[in-house]
Structure 1
């Protein structure tokens, strides 16, 4: 029988990846496109910074948090003659679904390093899973593209399939169970949002924050590499500082750097160091 131990000294057993901004959709742009269009259709223009604020949460909750922002709430009241309420949230969510589905279909390309990470995990006996603020229906839209590119996670958990989405730990814990990991200390949660890092911390796992490809920078791959080397370094430094505040154990540019970090975590575990 397995016995829980704070001083776990075994190997890394599972890695749980966020999707958009972490292993697909460089810059995490699909949700942003959908949220900007959603509110534009209501006659209310929101900024990209506002749209990114609740990133990582389940999408209905994302809408709720946007409507709770003072500027947006006031603008909504001026347009609609009343403060936003639950019926508005549900109506917006239903309108959001086709917008998000269309955006996802256009932005399901793997981020460089994803397939190499998958091979690294396979070669080291590490099981690889994903979780996401997308619903199962949204995920199914991107699944054929992931399969065509050769990406095949062994666990997929969507925010609508657990009691609470991020920052609650339930998606990570369900992923851990599906992947057969026997200790939270043996699991690594990787995400490009502070909310996703908090999810991993709440689950008791090692956490790795991704900056260059994700929400903290918010640039497409083309925009990112069009920057001068100096400006790119400066913007990455700002994003790293921001994500370091999430409490992540490690901060990396992209999942291309993750195998090295996993090896560092393995060394820590062998010394009896736990998250």
Structure 2
């Protein structure tokens, strides 16, 4: 049957850890201990990648790379990345324990998706040892997907490589990539989905892209809240998302919409290009 068979959900910022704060704190402290002051925005920009790759991406940012040269009188090298990661991991493991609460509605929506006959997989930028903590705690709080994988099982090739998605498709017995929806809260999530040939969806509220704690988001005046939502939506669409949703609550309705597109023989990414072309002519509204 021509319909969605499985959903692949990210973890931090998508299903747990509202605002994706566990990694941010660890990255800031790791670079601070190396004598480099980085900003929260710089720490968030590569979010979603394997954490060692994330450190490398930060060092390649022009400002941080220049600070490194000024501090150490040379450019960074691979051993510097390894050393920073060795310092990062214990900080991350200590931080992650405080950030395992499921986002609002996630356990309930997971149950709804399963009642629709959908399988639930997951991908992450965390390692196995990090996910042992997250999965155990999230399960106690009512959320666990049907399949869990980290880049440790794909030879450390994380996002934007699509290999974790392919492993999900295999494990969940999904019959085609385009019968799969990938949901995440970073540009790396979107790129992973595009590279895997699945429908790519950015979730806004609670995302790393938005970068707000739950109480901060709820305290925003309505105009500021809508501006924050618009900025995150625009960032996901620039990254190539097929769709965005404000919250995981909208996912069942979106699945039904995508099922209708599949009946019309629409496919991910190519469908997005059709939207882009129609938007240029001001004759498309979702």
Indicate the TM-score class for this superposition, using the shorter chain for normalisation: over 0.9
CA deviation vs aligned residue, 1:37-84 (integer Å, no higher than 9, x gap)? 111111211001111111111111111111111211111122223221
Higher relative contact order (CA 8 A, sep 6+): 1
Equivalent position of 1:117 in the other structure: 109
CA contact (8 A) 1:58 1:160 kept: no
SS at match of 1:110: coil
**Residue segments in structure 1 that go unaligned for 5+ positions in a row:** 1-8
Instruction: Select 1:232's aligned residue among 225, 229, 237.
Output: 225
SS at match of 2:88: helix
Instruction: Select 2:201's aligned residue among 189, 201, 208.
Output: 208
Instruction: Select 1:271's aligned residue among 250, 264, 267.
Output: 264
Equivalent position of 1:53 in the other structure: 45
TM-score by length of 1: 0.94
Q: Tell whether 2:62 aligns with 1:82.
A: no
Instruction: Select 2:30's aligned residue among 34, 38, 49.
Output: 38
- 1:119 Cα offset (Å): 0.7
How far apart, in 2, do the equivalents of 1:102 and 1:10 lie? 45
What are the within-5 Å matches in structure 2 for residues 86-235 of structure 1? 86-163=78-155, 164-235=157-228
- 1:195 Cα offset (Å): 1.4
Instruction: Select 1:257's aligned residue among 238, 250, 262.
Output: 250
**Residue segments in structure 2 that go unaligned for 5+ positions in a row:** 269-286
- 1:255 Cα offset (Å): 1.2
Runs of 4+ in 1 over 3 A off after TM superposition: none
Instruction: Select 2:234's aligned residue among 217, 241, 254.
Output: 241
SS at match of 2:131: helix
TM-score by length of 2: 0.90
CA deviation vs aligned residue, 1:222-266 (integer Å, no higher than 9, x gap)? 111111112111111122112111111111112121111111111
CA RMSD of aligned residues (A): 1.2
How far apart, in 1, do the equivalents of 2:76 and 2:231 lie? 34
CA contact (8 A) 2:135 2:144 kept: no
CA deviation vs aligned residue, 1:8-28 (integer Å, no higher than 9, x gap)? x52211100011111111111
SS at match of 2:133: helix
